[in-house]
């Protein structure tokens, strides 16, 4: 039919998304929950699709309940712990995310962050800029990739891409997930503490949400030991941040590289004063080329569905709908 489809773009403004829809669509925007509540009931009742612009926009039962005609939530990013996909499924609402298009980019960042943490790139850069190199050579780094064994926490799309990079670097890999992966032949540890005891480096790349909340806790860090290095590119919620600060302060572990934090954009002041941590502002997928691909997939999921096709990348909880 020629009837236009009403869409809502929910979350921090993302003009590239707003401009991505043709004139078959009427695009409304709500940057915050307050904006959503201020839409007139007449508009809310017309909205059939939502594009969620980032993980700071909570798409919970409350916000979904405001949209009675909703058919599909197209969420930006592969992690969708900010979307209540279970409740959406109960209402027969499809949820899609943006897997695959960011996998290699995020794995690059994880690998870079590991090397940067071990070989102290940030401190060494400051050393050059300060002019100290004129007086003496930079001290040898205690950390090195050469003598390490890495335990990857999560062996999905990104975990496997990280493992391939470690293979190329001749670094031994083992992993922890709930179920052994059919895609890899690395040693599987059903128990995270057992794995932490067996390695000296943890790279965390599991989804956020209740099942992984604070799974890297004081006990795991203690098991990792004084040579231990933690790299977290998953979600801040996966690591007990207070326990991590304590472990870094007391020498329970050696160092950490972090792209994600418990209460972003807030980072504990104690971490900011430490020399043995590298802190990134959640930039895992944040390059122009990869963000363009993610935006396009958010758009393409909505366009596919509303042109009568199956959604391209539905999440696991989503009801299987054929057209």
Q: Closer CB to ligand NDP, residue 140 or residue 320?
A: 320
Q: Is 282 a catalytic residue?
A: yes
Closest approach of Cβ 62 to ligand NDP, in Å? 22
From 58, 164, 282, 317, active-site residue: 282
> How many CA within 13 A on the CB side of residue 230?
34
Closest approach of Cβ 161 to ligand NDP, in Å? 8
Which one, of 84, 6, 9, 93, lies nearest residue 44 by Cα? 6
Angle between helical axes of 103-119 and 157-168 (0-180°, round to 10): 50
Question: Residue with the closest Cβ to ligand NDP?
Answer: 156
**What backbone torsions phi and psi does residue 106 show, to the nearest 5 degrees?**
-70, -35
Q: Closer CB to ligand NDP, residue 29 or residue 232?
A: 232
Q: What is the rounded CA–CA span in Å between residue 138 and residue 127?
A: 7
Q: Is 90 a catalytic residue?
A: no
Closest approach of Cβ 139 to ligand NDP, in Å? 30
Closest approach of Cβ 212 to ligand NDP, in Å? 5
Task: Tell the burial category of 89 from Cβ atoms under 10 Å away from its Cβ (0-12, 13-18, 19+).
Answer: middle
H helical segments located in the chain: 15-18, 33-38, 41-44, 61-65, 85-90, 103-119, 121-130, 157-168, 192-198, 218-224, 241-250, 269-272, 288-306
Closest approach of Cβ 283 to ligand NDP, in Å? 7
From 14, 235, 241, 291, active-site residue: 235
What are the C-alpha distances in Å from 164 to residues 148, 160, 168?
15, 6, 6
Q: Closer CB to ligand NDP, residue 39 or residue 85?
A: 85
Q: Closer CB to ligand NDP, residue 228 or residue 257?
A: 257
Q: Closer CB to ligand NDP, residue 71 or residue 259?
A: 259
Residues that bind ligand NDP (CB under 6 A): 78-79, 99, 102, 106, 154-159, 177-179, 205-208, 211-212, 233-235, 259-260, 282, 284-285
- Residues assigned a catalytic role: 235, 264, 282
């Amino acid at each position: 039919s020629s009837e236009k489809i009403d869409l809502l773009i929910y979350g921090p403004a993302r003009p590239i998304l707003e401009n991505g829809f043709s004139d078959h669509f009427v695009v409304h925007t709500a940057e915050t929950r307050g904006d959503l509540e201020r839409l007139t009931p007449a508009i809310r009742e017309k909205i059939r699709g939502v594009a969620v612009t980032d993980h700071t926009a909570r798409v919970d039962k409350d916000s979904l309940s405001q949209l009675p005609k909703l058919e599909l939530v197209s969420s930006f990013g592969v992690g969708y712990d900010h979307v209540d996909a279970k409740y959406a499924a109960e209402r027969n609402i499809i949820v899609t995310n943006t897997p695959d298009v960011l996998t290699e980019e995020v794995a690059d960042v994880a690998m870079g962050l590991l090397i940067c943490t071990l070989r102290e790139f940030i401190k060494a850069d400051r050393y050059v800029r300060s002019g100290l190199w004129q007086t003496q050579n930079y001290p040898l780094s205690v950390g090195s990739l050469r003598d390490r064994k890495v335990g990857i926490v999560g062996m999905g799309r990104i975990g496997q891409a990280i493992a391939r990079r470690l293979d190329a670097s001749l670094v031994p890999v083992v992993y922890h997930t709930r179920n052994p992966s059919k895609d890899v032949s690395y040693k599987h540890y059903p128990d995270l503490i057992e794995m932490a005891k067996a390695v000296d480096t943890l790279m965390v790349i599991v989804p956020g949400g209740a099942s992984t909340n604070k799974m890297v806790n004081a006990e795991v860090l203690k098991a990792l030991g004084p040579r231990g290095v933690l790299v977290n590119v998953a979600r801040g919620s996966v690591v007990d941040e207070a326990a991590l600060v304590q472990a870094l302060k007391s020498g329970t572990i050696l160092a950490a590289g972090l792209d994600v934090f418990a209460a972003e954009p807030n980072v504990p002041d104690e971490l900011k004063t430490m020399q043995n941590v590298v802190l990134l502002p959640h930039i895992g997928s944040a390059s122009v080329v990869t963000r363009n691909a993610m935006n396009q997939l958010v758009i393409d999921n909505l366009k596919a569905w509303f042109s009568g096709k199956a959604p391209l990348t539905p999440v696991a909880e989503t009801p299987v709908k054929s057209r």
